[in-house]
Amino acid sequence: MPLEIKHIYFTESELRKALVNFSVLNKKHIRLEDIQESIVDSAESVQVSFLVDRALQLENNTVIFSNSEVAAALLAFCMVSKIPLPRKGIKELHANDEKIYLKIQLDQEINFEKYNINNMIQNSSGAHNKSK
């Protein structure tokens, strides 16, 4: 079974844009200009906090996005940006010291009974010989 693992890394500006667009669904209306700092906490699961302008009068001047909210925002960002995502793949959100990324793991089922490269080679070479 071939195993495909894909990592999609996001810049801070891409992360901000994805979460600002996603925030509308949660009635957390913020704009990119309102964000003063992004804080990524990956101790247990990835969580993103935005320190925002005091004029928004939010508790602790912070907007917090859970792991599932960040993942949903980034998946939506990928779809809008036409970044291909497999439907069946296992999708996980991760962060390292530099960036947040989606890890997509796809185990593919292969029918090895139908896989026979010798027949394919013979068929293709036979086609070349007939055309001569």
Q: Dihedral sign, CA of 26, 28, 29, 33?
A: negative
Q: pTM for the complete prediction?
A: 0.76
* Adjacent-strand bridge partners of 102: 8, 93
- Compute the average pLDDT of residues 37-60: 85
What lies within 8 Å, CB to CB, of 79 at 6+ separation is 85
Q: What pLDDT does 54 receive?
A: 76
**What stretches of 9-102 show up as alpha helix (H) in DSSP?**
12-23, 67-80
The token pair at 12 is 């801070």
* Window from 25-29, 71-75, 77-81 with minimum mean pLDDT: 25-29
55 versus 46: the higher-pLDDT residue is: 46
- Compute the average pLDDT of residues 73-84: 94
Whether the predicted pLDDT of 60 surpasses 90: no
Cβ neighbourhood burial of 10 (10 Å; 0-12, 13-18, 19+): buried
Q: Tens of pLDDT along 105-132? A: 988 776 666 666 665 566 565 555 555 5
Of 46, 56, 45, 59, the closest CA to residue 19 belongs to 46
Whether the predicted pLDDT of 22 surpasses 60: yes
Domain-wise residue ranges, the chain: 3-107
